[in-house]
Chains A and B, each alone.
Chain A
């Protein structure tokens, strides 16, 4: 092997590992006597910034501003957290897992934050969890989907208000079969890493339980961010499947939609996009009519039209000129949950990580995405109802719409407490309460 080839290999590895570098931003709201410091971690650069990181960060910014101004609706209308203004420090999640853990340690040990709210990548969440427990640092994950966080062992200081990813796949299978009762064959295209593999595994498992006669046909796992899907579209065009499952997001989802539309794949099979909600405001009339859309819960247009949902949608849209997508909802729900826990703990004196964690366990509250119940993982993992619907572009209003929405109760699409998600599906989703 030549010198140049060796350099080539080394460079390729270094380049992939560092993607776009690490940067951090800090925001300093008005100072108060004893502010509550929060570390908000999300992708601010890199490919996951646009679909998840930035909406999540914006969701945090707008909700924290409302908290500090005491303008959130009741019962969240006390200023800041229990009367103390919130100081948020925004940190980029981009970079290697080692960087993510280092930044987490910096937030806890150097910046002395009272809690960290963040993380999109399941890899980040899995890496941060043991460190959070070691440092006894209160941590609330907002977007990452892996069920393993609370299945591997009991946690004390780590919480996740947003439901885990199993709900998305089970809900997708239920909706697909409600709309296509005679389905005999389905295919899947998912990214070749944990998120894509887990999403397909859960969807396939749920389909086996709910429609044992339906057979999987083409199962594709292209490389993450590969961008060119010509061969995949051809393969699917030659498939006899009536439906296509995908958990693609952002750049990959948009590239796939452009390329499949140019070749008419969506005319041959119904596409189910478990994260499609995050793309509808960008794709608009480019999103195929009739696509089944999920939003990792009842978020965005899938949310019930409650007062708190209308409040959140308004303050977000007024500031950013675009409606909030599901990562923004997840961030808002996470901050609302933390606020309730903090103020509950504050009733017995100045809160600390232990008292807030004790207060956080098992709480229930109403957020923009519906009723949250911290029911799994010994009260550390939230469940909510989920919803799926069918996409159409309203040409008169020039707006995306999700119609024909079906809602599934939390207990219908989430495993019962104490049961691991994949085993629950494999055992036939026993105990699911769907009515």
Chain B
């Protein structure tokens, strides 16, 4: 029983780390810009493909594994930055102020186009990027064997949560962001360059999406369609925690991760149901998610 409990805890934490890393960019963009960004799945996919390309380059060089890992992340985030900039400046800028459904549909269209762009750049085949995970090795805890790469994933998620908290609470940009989140018009009236804040936020969100793809690439086969699964999962996590809330995304990821791990170990038939069951339950009790208060409508 103790073995099962510790397995649930470790597996839950690893899955939560994965969920948080893929959801944080989505919730950040929604919090600031009120955009449900379906293109987030493309950022994830491009990050994964970029990471696989980087791994292919470093695997043929004499670079140490740690440097290769950093190169993989750097390349993926650079791709995310460029994509974020192009999509925000080239596309979303044109539809700001339109109905929220229109904006969502625009990001959905961009997502579909970018799926084909992947085929144009990388072709229809799959890519492997397992080298960092193999290099990381494993740790034995009694009968349980943990991948060290999974431990690194948990550390990355914790670091991201810490950095996000610090940046929002204790930096000038964070305070500006909080002001824009609270009320865009008032923030603009006080002289805050809201356009710049929007662009910066979208680019950071895109880089975080690409980071999610990069760190997951060594664990998965990088193949067409990987962004689809991520969008659905990230939406579920963000809906549980509250759209736009970073602490909500963290708690949502932990809840889903632990519940799913418990289901796989104890009632595997419920593995598929549990994620959306938890989401439905939370939304019944708190329709805006765990960390978002219902707000009065402005007239």
A: residues with CB less than 8 A from B are: 1-5, 7-8, 11-12, 14-16, 18-21, 23, 44-47, 49-51, 53-54, 192, 218-223, 225-228, 230-232, 234-235, 237-238, 250-255, 258-259, 261-264, 282-283, 286
| Complex-state Cα separation, A4 to B18, whole angstroms | 23
Show 30 A/B contacts (Cβ-Cβ < 8 Å), sorted by A: A2-B287, A7-B100, A7-B101, A11-B108, A12-B232, A15-B232, A19-B228, A45-B224, A46-B225, A192-B272, A218-B268, A220-B271, A222-B264, A222-B272, A227-B216, A227-B219, A227-B229, A228-B219, A235-B268, A238-B4, A238-B7, A251-B223, A255-B219, A258-B130, A258-B133, A258-B218, A258-B220, A259-B133, A262-B147, A264-B145
Q: What class of interface size applies to chain B in its complex with A? A: 35 or more
- In the complex, what's the smallest C-beta–C-beta distance from A282 to chain B, in angstroms? 7
- In the complex, what's the smallest C-beta–C-beta distance from A194 to chain B, in angstroms? 14
Could you say which of B146, B231, B232 contacts A263, with CB atoms under 8 Å apart? B146
Cβ B115 vs Cβ A16 within 8 A = no
| Complex-state Cα separation, A47 to B124, whole angstroms | 9
Cβ A228 vs Cβ B15 within 8 A = yes
**Residue B226 at the chain A interface, CB threshold 8 Å:** yes
Q: Evaluate whether A49 and B124 lie within 8 angstroms (CB atoms) in the complex, with A12-B232, A237-B143, A262-B133 already known.
A: yes
Residue of A nearest to B129 (CB): A258
Cβ B271 vs Cβ A18 within 8 A = no
Chain A residues in 8 Å Cβ range of B41: 15
**B window 71-110: CB within 8 A of A:** 100-101, 104, 108
Chain B residues in 8 Å Cβ range of A2: 243, 287-288
Cβ A54 vs Cβ B124 within 8 A = yes
Cβ B18 vs Cβ A228 within 8 A = yes
Could you say which of B15, B36, B108 contacts A231, with CB atoms under 8 Å apart? B15
Chain A residues in 8 Å Cβ range of B288: 2
**B window 101-139: CB within 8 A of A:** 101, 104, 108, 111-112, 115-116, 119, 124-126, 128, 130, 133-134, 136, 138
The 10 closest A-B pairs by CB, nearest first: A254-B221, A231-B264, A231-B11, A251-B221, A262-B147, A234-B7, A47-B225, A263-B145, A255-B220, A251-B223
B: residues with CB less than 8 A from A are: 3-4, 7-8, 10-12, 14-15, 18, 30, 36, 38, 41, 100-101, 104, 108, 111-112, 115-116, 119, 124-126, 128, 130, 133-134, 136, 138, 143-147, 149-150, 216, 218-221, 223-226, 228-229, 231-232, 235, 239, 243, 260-261, 264-265, 268-269, 271-272, 283, 287-288
Residue of A nearest to B111 (CB): A15
Chain B residues in 8 Å Cβ range of A235: 7, 264-265, 268
- In the complex, what's the smallest C-beta–C-beta distance from B29 to chain A, in angstroms? 13
| Complex-state Cα separation, A101 to B125, whole angstroms | 26
- In the complex, what's the smallest C-beta–C-beta distance from B168 to chain A, in angstroms? 21
Could you say which of A11, A222, A226, A237 contacts B144, with CB atoms under 8 Å apart? A237
| Complex-state Cα separation, A231 to B260, whole angstroms | 8
Could you say which of A230, A238, A250, A254 contacts B143, with CB atoms under 8 Å apart? A238
| Complex-state Cα separation, A12 to B108, whole angstroms | 10
- In the complex, what's the smallest C-beta–C-beta distance from B156 to chain A, in angstroms? 15
Could you say which of B126, B133, B231 contacts A282, with CB atoms under 8 Å apart? B126
Cβ A21 vs Cβ B18 within 8 A = no
Cβ B271 vs Cβ A221 within 8 A = yes
Cβ B219 vs Cβ A5 within 8 A = no
Cβ A18 vs Cβ B14 within 8 A = no
Chain A residues in 8 Å Cβ range of B104: 7, 11
Chain B residues in 8 Å Cβ range of A227: 216, 219-220, 226, 229
Chain B residues in 8 Å Cβ range of A14: 108
Cβ A1 vs Cβ B283 within 8 A = yes
Cβ A5 vs Cβ B283 within 8 A = yes
| Complex-state Cα separation, A325 to B149, whole angstroms | 32
Q: Evaluate whether A230 and B14 lie within 8 angstroms (CB atoms) in the complex, with A262-B133, A262-B149 already known.
A: yes
